[in-house]
Amino acid sequence: MSELAAQLADLQSRFAAAVAGAGDERALDAVRVDFLGRSGAVTLLRRGIGQLPAEERPTAGKEINDVVERLEAQLQDAQGALESRAFDADLSRTIDVTFPAPDAAVGTIHPIRRIIEDVCSYFERMGFAVVLGPEVEPDQYNFDALNIPADHPAREGFDSFWITDTLLLRPHTSPMQIRTMEQHAPPIAVVAPGRCYRRDAVDARHLFQFNQIEGLLVAEGIHFGHLKGALTGMCRELFGDDQQVRFRPSFFPFTEPSAEVDTTCPKCRGLGDACNMCGGSGWIELGGAGMVHPNVLRNVGYDPDVVSGWAFGFGIERLGLTRYEIDDIRRFVESDPDFLMQLH
């Protein structure tokens, strides 16, 4: 046997023993370094080629390489065996199917959506239809037909997002009054909830995107008492049985007379004192309302001598502040499930 052949045979048997003794991937890696690493056994052999008898030298490099190939193949086999042993161990693990699983997170309806549904269901029980409309409106529906002509100062008050010279993101749900009356002859009884947009700086009481609900009742013989009755009922539904409603004179181009609507502060029950929800007045502001202006009825082809109507437009988030006794409107849109899920 040549000198190199003897050295290689010795190397292979030491290698085989080391691989057999490697019980995990870490140990196997150490074997790889010991034998095939930069200063491992094989490198030492290669360095010793110069000391071999002259006749062995020409083929020594190839013989060593052949052995290295075999060692690498053996390493790979050993690695595969370790992996499949680990896999088998994993498979034979028993699973306790009776072990309680973590609760799946179950969502709830968003509080703003809940208020919309509650108001709608109150009016639906009285025979109103719920109608939805576009969030992008022509100024015709948003302003002109609502008795706000192009040069009317009330346009300024709406601080709208304009898309073109004549199209805007609706700053209120009132255009739904026009859309509904254009499509249907009286009598009309609808509520129209939906998103509105205004160029307001965001703070504790303002969002640039918010929700309103519009109400409209038009028929023969409708008067202010009907409005008062409907809104009193709505507030009792939302806030409690002994809720009162009061009207303060106001101005809107699309109603005459117009009013701001307040309801008993649900926190202090109207007592005022040092209540931080109503500022001590005992009343909470809901929004605008009034008797539909004769010009608005005329604009949709109704005869104001035959029919009359009331309308209101309330901010849903504002109702939410009151209902949930929250002092910051932004909490509704911050998507904090822990907070939102406490509100019912």
Q: Binding residues for ligand DAH, per CB under 6 A?
A: 172, 174, 214, 252, 255, 287-290, 311-313
Residue with tokens 């309103």: 212
The candidate with the shortest Cα–Cα distance to 72, out of 25, 14, 22, 31, is 31
Task: Give the shortest CB-341-to-ligand DAH separation in angstroms.
Answer: 30
Neighbour-count burial of 82, counting CB atoms closer than 10 A to its CB (0-12 exposed, 13-18 middle, 19+ buried)? middle
Provide the minimum distance between the beta carbon of 315 and ligand DAH in the complex, in angstroms, as a whole number: 8
Q: Which is nearer to ligand DAH, 254 or 283 (CB)?
A: 254
- Looking at the Cβ atoms of 111 and 287, the one nearer to ligand DAH is 287
| Chain CA centroid to CA 140, Å | 33
Of residues 270 and 313, the one with the C-beta less far from ligand DAH: 313
Angle at 225 between CA 219 and CA 230, to 5 degrees: 80
Residue closer to ligand DAH by CB (options 19, 216) is 216
In the complex with ligand DAH, the residue whose CB is nearer, 230 or 289, is 289
In whole angstroms, how close is the CB of 214 to ligand DAH at the nearest point? 5
Distance CA 325, CA 338 (A): 17
Smallest distance from ligand DAH to CB 172, Å: 3
Supply the minimum distance, in Å, between the C-beta of residue 157 and ligand DAH.
8
Closer to ligand DAH by Cβ: residue 34 or 260: 260
Residues in a beta bridge with 14: none
Contact 135, 194 (CB under 8 A): yes
Cβ atoms within 10 Å of 48's Cβ, excluding its own: 14
- CA 342 centroid distance within chain: 17
**CA angle 63–67–73, rounded 5-degree value:** 150
Report the largest interatomic distance among the alpha carbons of the chain, rounded to a whole angstrom. 126
Instruction: Answer whether 111's CB lies under 8 Å from 205's CB.
Output: no
Minimum distance of ligand DAH from residue 297's CB (angstroms) = 13
Which residue number, 134 or 337, has a Cβ lying nearer to ligand DAH?
A: 134
Closest approach of Cβ 120 to ligand DAH, in Å?
16
Name the residue nearer to ligand DAH (CB basis): 284 or 289: 289
Among residues 282 and 290, whose Cβ is nearest to ligand DAH?
290
Q: How far is the CB of 216 from ligand DAH (least distance, A)?
A: 7
Cα separation, 231 vs 234, whole angstroms: 5
**Are 18 and 11 contacting, i.e. CB atoms less than 8 angstroms apart?**
no
Closest approach of Cβ 344 to ligand DAH, in Å?
28
Backbone angles phi, psi at 43, to 5 degrees: -60, -40
**SS3 of 131, please?**
coil
Residue 59, classed as helix, strand or coil, is helix
Helix %, strand %, coil % of the chain (to 5)? 45, 20, 35
